[in-house]
Structure 1
Amino acid sequence: MFTAGEIAERIRTGQVTSREVTEELLGRIAADTEVNAVVEIRREYALTAADRADAARVAQPEKPLEGCGLGPLHGVPVTVKDCFDVAGMHTTWGNPAFADYVADEDAVVVKKLQRAGAQIVGKTNVHTMLGDFGQTANEIYGRTNNPADVTRTPGGSSGGAAAALAAGLTYLEYGSDLVGSIRLPAAYCGVYGLKPTNGLVPQGGFQVPGTPYVPSEMPILSTIGPLARSAADLRIALRATAGPEAPYTYDLAAPRHRALKDYRVGIVTDHPAAPVTSEVGDALSDTIDRIAATGAKIVDSWPDGVDPDEQAEEFSRQVELFFALHGGEPTTMTVDQLLTTERNRLAARAKWQRYFEDIDVFLCPTSFTVAFPHGSTTIDGRPYEAQVFWIAHASLTGHPALSMPIGRTATGLPTAAQVIGPWHEDDTAITFAELLAQHLGSR
């Protein structure tokens, strides 16, 4: 199946119409009886929007993409996670209490995607209240399954988003990531998922139904970002959605390098807090060997001064504070403890930023495991919560981090690596992943 960028190019050059692409996609969604990833569609809107996109292309057939009215996602049907408001569609967060809630305004990220030419044709399943990073199920829409093996989880809480991409039920997705909810599903389903630099993508319209959006001048932990079938699509989506609303503009910083051999790559492939399975470890080792063969510099260690166990514990405290701030259980921390926690977070970010003065990207597991059976409470003898360890560090510091597929197990389950980049240099991580995928013979 084509990527979003590829299908946009085919639409723009007249090789296919948006109507044809949209009808085909809607047919695949309707035919799905196993994955249960796309939980609401708006068929008439989708077809009308496709016809408008085709008419716009015909009206300016000789003009290049830049400088004309055709955006980088012109005519491409996409979906978004069922936690973003889309006018006229339900926003349920997988909670029966919100089953009848219909949004009257688009989320900011939805507006930006549409401004880039994308057509929001449906919404994808989530875990109830986005409350599980490892599984996706709720009482409204049921359980989403992994397309690689429907007896296994697609991850959570953006499991519907990742599964829809892997199953060919959408061309691009947008999800949210607090505790790995973009990266873990991407890893388990074999697609790409980016947690951008914290605060890079505006979050208006991403809130529990009926609650006002309160913008933060210092957004931490919770982040929204794209999922896709290629690293190039992550870049397209991020360029379309990053930065403040008009009339302000934002340009992604250029990648540090454009050849894999020029990258300085920090690596860590295992840790006692979340020891990787042999399947994950073998795939990572092989990938690193192939990176080294290009002439890229490999540095095998955590950043100086970083204690990964302490940072993972600090992330847990930050998550506790996040939920207390957003109406969950009140924290029992004293003021002094709160101040210490915040100092620790900022100190962790500073240590990683010093590291990225000499290192371009950091490569590590996204998860210690591949997709596991539904309902698991332990995984390969490890605690369920061990899934959080590898995603915790970029979540704590706010650095951009993406999950990318690096292969398949003997039974066909995806394996993945996590690429962490410098603060506000998201395209350095994206470009590295893009170059690595090409080197590995994939997208």
Structure 2
Amino acid sequence: MNEVLFLPASEAAGMIRRREISSAELTEALFARIDAVGPALNAVVELRREEALRDAAAADRALARGRETGPLHGVPMTIKDAFDVAGSHTTWGDPASAGFTAASDATVVRRLRGAGAIIAGKTNVAFMLGDFAQTANELYGVTNNPWDTARTPGGSGGGSAAALAAGLTFLEYGTDLVGSIRIPAAFCGVYGLRPSTGIVPLGGFSPPGVPPGPDEAAYMTSAGPLARSAGDLRTALGVTAGPDGQAARACSWTLPPSRHTRTAGFRVGFVLDHPRAPVSAEVAGPLSDLVDALARTGATLVEGWPDGVDPVREAESFGFHVGLFLASQGPGGEFAPFPAIVEQQNRRTAARAAWNAHFGDVDVFLCPVTFTPAFPHDPRPFEQRVIVTPEGERPYGDLPFWISHASLPGLPAVAAPIGRTPGGLPVGVQVIGPLHEDDTAITFAELLADVTGGPGRPPI
């Protein structure tokens, strides 16, 4: 049964539809796996055991009666503890919110249920989602990486990626402001999608007791899936994206098809290193091997940054916008002077225009997710933390450099596993796609599995 627990969600759904396994059996097996392995990882921090088994039994009855089923029918999954799930706690890792129980589902949760998914539990986060590289809080504790429990699974959604990699869930849904989907996916060897900004509604994603922020500030964060296959990213995005509320009355949404369906058809831009955030030798090797392998498939490779993109300036602009976003989300936030805001908004729109023009010449753009694989836990204050690489110590705050280039212009980006370091830790690549053409990035990540072998299975 453990082998089944490592299948992609779409394959598990197919087994349920073909009556090869029941949703109840699969859900019970998942809880048994969580009971056995969960304590070593501390990834799933709240279980919905009774509710999930009840929902699984209902899914089996619906199937027996011949009712129409969704693409995730009967598949148990978990949700990042930042989304509301009716009847479960939403804490954001804050002890002050330990008693808060959500009265209704977040939009993405409601839509996942509508596609047939069974919500089995919630996964750990960094305190108030405030750490891009580690997942820890005083309420639930520290989450460990299943490839090496002495190391971080990334943040702020390290619980999501660790649970997926270890066979504790079939699918996850998270959020990405400063790489909180992509960094954990890379550190744990799974797939993670930061969708095009604004296509997945953020209803039900806010700290307990805090009203949702203004929609105008949501240009910096995206909600998106993590999965064990790129195809599952497509399925999850397909059932969760699209306008919500009043906007749904005026607009509809469909996922445009990929530009190509074979690796040889793609024009691939790429940059594998930069002096501002040089990749360690552990990461450089698998990235270089990937580009060589793509050349052998017949893909057209175009090295270099897009015309008009200054990666250092835009990484700095990304930091400014993150600060502005955070200031807009809470009372008493300190805003920058208006001229500085205008200047940085102009930089952001210029970056988007430069990337949009570049995607007239290439179909996807490859770059690192991070300059290092997962590193040992470091509980010290931010300003004291460093990341040790074979080439020496690096500032902790340098880690988001590579994820910033999709985030600033709001582009879709997939973190995809491509291999492992000599020490056996996962290495990921970032597949950035054209704005609102998320399936082009997803499809290319899907094709990469044929080139690299896809995700592995951790030793835990």
Using the TM superposition, give the Cα deviation of residue 396 of structure 1 relative to its aligned residue in structure 2, in angstroms: 0.5
Cα deviation per residue 1:26-48 (whole Å; 9 max; x = unaligned)? 11111122101000011111111
Asked whether the equivalents of residues 320 and 331 of structure 1 are also in contact (C-alpha less than 8 Å), the reply is no
Residue 70, structure 1, aligned to residue 69, structure 2: yes
CA positional deviation for 1:385: 1.0
Residues 328/347 of structure 1: CA separation in 2 closer, same or farther (3 Å cut): farther
SS in 1 for 2:215: coil
**How far apart, in 2, do the equivalents of 1:328 and 1:281 lie?**
43
Q: Which runs of 5+ in 2 are unaligned?
A: 1-5, 380-384, 456-460
**Could you tell me which of 10, 13, 26 is aligned with 1:5?**
10
- Counterpart of 2:180 in structure 1: which amino acid? S
Corresponding residue number in structure 2 for 1:152: 151
Q: State whether residues 419 and 428 of structure 2, in contact with CA within 8 Å, keep that contact through their aligned partners in structure 1.
A: yes
Equivalent position of 1:41 in the other structure: 47
SS of the counterpart of 1:219? helix
1:378 aligns with 2:381: no
Corresponding residue for 1:65?
Answer: none
Letter in 1 for 2:19: G
Indicate the residue corresponding to 2:232 in structure 1.
233
* SS of match in other structure, 1:251: coil
Distance 2:138 2:240 in 1: 31
Q: Distance in 1 between matches of 2:62 and 2:317?
A: 51
Contact kept in structure 2, 1:199 and 1:218, CA below 8 Å? no
| Alignment match, 2:371 | 368
1:333 Cα shift?
A: 2.3
Q: Distance in 1 between matches of 2:259 and 2:79?
A: 30
Aligned with 1:430 (options 406, 428, 442): 442
3-state DSSP class of the match of 1:428? helix
| 2:327 alignment partner, SS class | helix
8 Å Cα contact 1:134/1:185 also seen in 2 = yes
- Structure 1 equivalent of residue 28 of structure 2: 23
Structure 1: which 5+ residue stretches go unaligned? 61-67
Q: Is the 8 A contact 2:324 2:335 kept in 1?
A: no
What is the TM-score with the length of structure 1 in the denominator? 0.96
**1:47-80 Cα shifts (integer Å, max 9, x gaps):** 11111111111111xxxxxxx6200000000000
**Residue in 2 aligned with 1:125?**
124
- Residues 77-226 of structure 1 mapped to structure 2, 5 A cutoff: 77-214=76-213, 216=215, 219-226=218-225
- Contact 1:403/1:419 (<8 A) preserved: yes
CA distance in 1, matches of 2:199, 2:94: 28
Query: Percent same amino acid at aligned positions?
Result: 57
Q: Secondary structure in 1 aligned to 2:78? A: strand
Q: Any conservation in 1 of the 2:193–2:225 contact (CA below 8 Å)?
A: yes
- Tell me which amino acid in the other structure corresponds to 1:396: L
Deviation by residue 1:364-392 (Cα, 9 ceiling, x = unmatched) = 00000000000072112111111110001
- How many aligned residue pairs are there? 436
CA drift at 1:328? 6.3
Q: How far, CA to CA, are the matches of 1:335 and 1:351 in structure 2?
A: 24
Partner in structure 2 of residue 276 of structure 1: 279
Deviation at 1:324, TM superposition (A): 1.1
Partners of 1:259 and 1:352 in 2: CA distance: 23
Q: Which amino acid aligns with 1:359?
A: V
Q: Aligned-pair distance for 1:221? A: 0.8
Shift of 1:330: 3.5
Amino acid at match of 2:357: R
In the TM superposition, what is the alpha-carbon distance from 1:436 to its structure 2 partner? 1.1
| In structure 1, distance between residues paired with 2:331 and 2:158 | 23
Show CA shifts across 1:101-156 (max 9, x none).
Answer: 00001000000000000011100000000000000001111000000000000000
Change (3 A) 1:215 1:201: farther
What is the distance in 2 between the residues matched to 1:187 and 1:250?
29
Instruction: Provide the rounded CA distance (Å) in 2 between the counterparts of 1:322 and 1:342.
Output: 12
Say which of 375, 391, 403 aligns to 2:415. 403
Match of 2:297 among 291, 294, 297: 294
Deviation, 1:439, is: 2.4
Contact 1:86–1:105 (8 Å) recurs in 2? yes
1:57 corresponds to: 63
* Aligned match for 2:401, one of 368, 389, 395: 389
Q: 2:312 aligns with which of 285, 295, 309?
A: 309
TM-score (norm 2): 0.93
- Please report how far the alpha carbon of residue 332 of structure 1 lies from its aligned counterpart in structure 2 after TM superposition: 5.1
Deviations 1:274-306 (A, max 9, x none): 110111000000001101111111001000011
Letter in 2 for 1:35: L
Q: What are the Cα deviations for residues 293-344 of structure 1, in whole angstroms up to 9, with x where unaligned?
A: 1111100100001110000000011011111111166335221111111111
Question: Which position in structure 1 is the counterpart of 2:3?
Answer: none
**1-side partners of 2:201 and 2:360: how far apart?**
27
- The code of the aligned residue for 2:274 comes to H
Distance 1:192 1:356 in 2: 23
Q: Is the 8 A contact 1:323 1:329 kept in 2?
A: no
- Pair 1:266-2:269 in alignment: yes
